Amino acid sequence: MTEPFKNFINHELIERIGQAIQNVWDAFDAAQFVKVACADLDAKELKERCFAVVEGLEQTLPNSFPEAADIMMRSLHPDVPEDETFSGMTDGDGIRGWPIMAFQEYVGKHGLEHPMESLNLLREMTKRLTSEFGIRYFIEAHPTLTLRQLQAWVKDPSVHVRRLVSEGTRPRLPWGMQLKQFIKDPSPTIPLLDCLKDDTSEYVRRSVANHLNDIAKDHPDIVCKVAETWWIDASKDRKRLIKHALRTLIKKGNPRALAILGYGEAKISVTPIQLSKEIVSVGDTLEFSIELSSESSEEQELLVDYAVHFKKANGSLSPKVFKWTQFTLGPREVRTLAKKQSFKVVSTRVLYPGEHQIEILINGASQRTVSFELSV
């Protein structure tokens, strides 16, 4: 079983943090820091453990933020990775890894009146884990200054700093507070993404794609316009970025997004969906198949997905789209496709008995639907 993230911020790590700070500041009360940060630690989840470390820092670092920032900077581990990997955690040489989660919260909470010192510190912290959560406080409080600094960082030698430019400005970053100003108007971040679209690191380009996918949830036309522009003379890597950025729009069958990737209106006929059984028990697998026939004298690029319409507690059906396959269908070609769908119990979805549906989607358009019963 995978170790829960919360367990990485444990008593031993907190003691290492205290020792690392004391190594650079003799007056640090490491014992008091550990006492505060470890209070009732086992009962706390990840964010609560981070906030406990923040509280420990608040009680033991100088009240002057510039002084506290200097101490935190000097306590950071001297070794940082040149690529996207993290080669180690906090040890006798300094702080890196999970403690940075708490450090960036401290900076976001106490450093807003000293934005340049804070941004410089966040830049160094992000090399040792990430500052994508902490920098959001400064985007909200000092948008012009912070965006100016981020624009300078798009050419930073560190892959982690360049990724921070994209990841830290994502409107709907998972685990992070939403940037409502960018949800409403994402235009300030587009120039940053444009500078990073051909970054040498897949780590950075993946972040750019995820950022655009965030924007697509609120402004699909803006993302489609960006994708259309970027697709011109695009390299293989940039095309991969664009495809990943459009994934939500593709699942929704957005015609403009599909057209960018070469999926126009499909000229095909589709046979009724064949099911291996009409009643499926929870825990079983349902097999289904279709036959496609081209009605065109030219090749067609086809993107085939399917949706399972799951029954909800109130009796209505809610579709969940699954990726299936993509291929080139030749002139007048006939092709059979088969798929298996599991109905095993998972933690992310409650399965309710009753009528469900399978729907076939080709190039975003619904082609066939069939019903079946799910039984417990």
**How do residues 147-158 score in pLDDT, each as one tens digit?**
999 999 999 999
Q: Which of 32, 59, 119, 111 is nearest to 51 (CA)?
A: 59
Task: Provide the Cα torsion 36, 42, 46, 48; round to 10°.
Answer: -40
Q: Is the dihedral of CA 362, 261, 203, 222 positive or negative?
A: negative
Q: Looking at residue 347, what is its pLDDT?
A: 84
What is the tens place of the pLDDT at every residue in 197-238? 999 999 999 999 999 999 999 999 999 999 999 999 999 999
Q: Rounded CA gap, 246 and 31, in Å?
A: 51
DSSP state of 177: P
| Assigned token pair, 181 | 């100003």
**Inter-CA distances, 73 with 54, 122, 301, Å:** 16, 9, 53
Say yes or no to pLDDT of 97 above 70: yes
Q: Rounded CA gap, 242 and 260, in Å?
A: 9
Q: Rounded CA gap, 301 and 247, in Å?
A: 17
Q: Looking at residue 87, what is its pLDDT?
A: 63
Sheet order of strands, 317-329 included:
279-281, 365-375, 354-362, 300-311, 317-329
Q: How many beta carbons lie within 10 A of that of residue 128, not counting itself?
A: 24
Say yes or no to pLDDT of 2 above 80: no
Q: What is the DSSP string of 229-259?
A: HHHTT--HHHHHHHHHHTHHHHHTT-HHHHH
With pLDDT > 90 as the criterion, what percentage of the chain qualifies? Answer: 94
For residues 22 and 96, the answer to whether their CB atoms sit within 8 Å is no
For residues 373 and 354, the answer to whether their CB atoms sit within 8 Å is yes
Is 100 in a helix, a strand, or coil? Answer: helix
Mean local confidence (pLDDT), 2-9: 86
Q: Rounded CA gap, 221 and 240, in Å?
A: 19
Q: Rounded CA gap, 44 and 7, in Å?
A: 10
Say yes or no to pLDDT of 1 above 70: no
| Domain limits, the chain | 5-131, 268-375
Strands (E), the chain: 268-270, 274-275, 279-281, 285-294, 300-311, 317-329, 334-342, 354-362, 365-375
CATH 2.60.40.10, domain 268-375, yes or no: yes
Mean local confidence (pLDDT), 130-136: 97
Q: Rounded CA gap, 100 and 228, in Å?
A: 38
Q: Rounded CA gap, 323 and 226, in Å?
A: 24
What is the tens place of the pLDDT at every residue in 230-282? 999 999 999 999 999 999 999 999 999 999 999 999 999 999 999 999 999 99
Q: Rounded CA gap, 89 and 112, in Å?
A: 28
Q: CA angle at residue 153 from 200 to 182, to 5 degrees?
A: 100
Say yes or no to pLDDT of 309 above 70: yes
What is the tens place of the pLDDT at every residue in 32-80? 999 999 999 999 999 999 999 999 999 999 999 999 999 999 999 998 8
Q: Rounded CA gap, 243 and 257, in Å?
A: 9
Say yes or no to pLDDT of 81 above 90: no
Place of tokens 């409107």: 171
Arithmetic mean of pLDDT over the chain = 96
| Assigned token pair, 365 | 């358009």
